[in-house]
Chains A and B, each alone.
Chain A
Amino acid sequence: MQPVTLGEFEQVVLLTILRLGDAAYGVSIRKEIAVHTDREPSPGALYTTLDRLEERGLVTSSLGDPTPQRGGRAKRFFKVSAKGVEAVARVQRGYRRLLQGVTLPGVSHA
C-alpha cells in the first residue's frame, strides 16, 4: 500500500489540531497557525484543506453546542485520526532524518 503523502499546509493543519487537542475548530486553528508560523491562512484555504483531510480519513469532525457569540451556531471540532497521526509522524521522521548532519548557514539550530 502506498504511504499517505502530505502537503506542507496539510502538515501544519494536522500538527495544529494535535496541539489544540479538544479545542480545535476553525477559528482556534487559524489563530494557532498565525501564532506559530507567522502567516494567517484564509478561512477558505483552511476549510478546503480540512475537508480534503477528512475525505482522506486523516481527521474526523463533530459538531459542538451552539454558542450566542456565533449567532447560535455550533462549532465544528476536529480530531486527528490514527491514520493522520501515523502519516504526520512518518513525514516528520523523514524531515528529521534529512536534517541530521546538515548545517544551515546562518541558523544556530534547525
Chain B
Amino acid sequence: MRKDTVGEWILRLVMPGERATAAVGDLLEDSAGRDSSWFWTTLAWTVGSTVWREMHTHVWRLAGITTAGFFLLVILGLGANLAAQAAWAILHFVRDHTGVELLLPGDSLPTAVPGWIVLSYLRLLVPFEVARWVARRVRGRELSAWLVMMLLWPVLAAWTKSPYEFVWAALFSFLGVVCERWRTIRFDSLTQG
C-alpha cells in the first residue's frame, strides 16, 4: 500500500475527510526530494498537534461524553454480572432439584463457564461498544475522545472503586473508536458518490 494512502487513512482519524486529503497532498508535495522518514515524522506531528488542539479546545465536551461512557461501562458491567449470577443460580437450582449432572467446575464465577462468558463480555465487548457509543457523539474527534477516555477512566474507576482493567479497556476501546471512524469514512465516501 502506498504511503500517501496509509497517511490519508491515519489523518482521517483526526480530521474531516477533505481536509485530510488536502493535508496529505501538501505533505506529498513538500516531501519531494526528501526521504520518506520526513513524510512519516511530519504526519505524526500533524496527528499529535491536531489531537492536542481538539483536546484543548473541546475539553469539557470530551470529558462529559467520556464520563457518561464510563458510567455506561459500569452499568453494562453490573448488568452482565447480575445476568451471570441469575444464570448461575438457575443452573445450581436445576442441578440440585432435578438431579441432572451439569458440568459446573466451581462456585466462583471466573472459573465457571458463565463466568468466562461474562469476563469476555466485560473485557472485550463492553469497552468496544462503549467506545463506539462515545465516538458516535464526537464525530471527527474520535481519537481525541479515546485519549481522554484513557486519561479519565482509570481516575473514575479509582474514585468509584469500580473494577477496571486498563490494558483490555485501552485495546478494545481503541478498536471500537477505529471501527466507528472507519464506518463514518465509508458512509461519507458512499454518500459523496
Chain B, residues 78-99, CB within 8 Å of chain A (1/0): the string is 0000000000000000000000
Stretch of B22-30, B101-109, B169-177 on the interface side: B22-30
Q: Are the C-beta atoms of B4 and A71 separated by less than 8 Å?
A: yes
Q: Are the C-beta atoms of B53 and A51 separated by less than 8 Å?
A: yes
Interface positions of B from 6 to 37, Cβ below 8 Å from A: 15, 18-19, 21-30, 32
Chain B, residues 47-73, CB within 8 Å of chain A (1/0): the string is 111101100010000000000000000
A30, B29: Cα distance in complex, Å: 12
Contacts of B47 in A (CB 8 A): 44
Whether A43 is near chain B, meaning CB under 8 Å from some CB there, is yes
Interface of B is mostly: helix
- The chain A residue with its CB closest to the CB of B7 is A71
A75, B47: Cα distance in complex, Å: 19
Q: Are the C-beta atoms of A52 and B53 separated by less than 8 Å?
A: yes
Of B2, B25, B50, which contacts A73 at CB under 8 A? Answer: B25
Whether B120 is near chain A, meaning CB under 8 Å from some CB there, is no
Q: Are the C-beta atoms of B45 and A27 separated by less than 8 Å?
A: no
Tell me how many residues of B have a C-beta within 8 Å of chain A. 26
A52, B50: Cα distance in complex, Å: 11
Q: Are the C-beta atoms of A30 and B22 separated by less than 8 Å?
A: no
Q: Are the C-beta atoms of A76 and B45 separated by less than 8 Å?
A: no
A-B contact count (CB 8 A): 78
Interface of A is mostly: helix
Whether B42 is near chain A, meaning CB under 8 Å from some CB there, is yes
A27, B27: Cα distance in complex, Å: 8
Q: A77 to chain B: closest CB distance in Å?
A: 9
Known contacts A43-B27, A48-B50; A69/B32 CB under 8 A = yes
Whether A96 is near chain B, meaning CB under 8 Å from some CB there, is no
Known contacts A30-B30, A69-B32, A70-B28; A43/B22 CB under 8 A = no
Contacts of A43 in B (CB 8 A): 23, 26-27, 30, 42, 45-46
Ranked 3 nearest A-B pairs via Cβ: A73-B25, A44-B49, A70-B25
Residues of B within 8 A of A (CB): 2, 4, 15, 18-19, 21-30, 32, 42, 45-50, 52-53, 57
25 contacts between A and B (CB under 8 A): A27-B30, A30-B30, A42-B46, A42-B49, A43-B26, A44-B45, A47-B23, A47-B49, A47-B50, A48-B49, A48-B52, A48-B53, A51-B15, A51-B19, A51-B53, A69-B29, A69-B32, A71-B4, A71-B24, A73-B4, A73-B22, A73-B28, A74-B21, A76-B18, A76-B26
Residues of A within 8 A of B (CB): 25-27, 30, 42-45, 47-48, 51-52, 63, 67, 69-71, 73-76
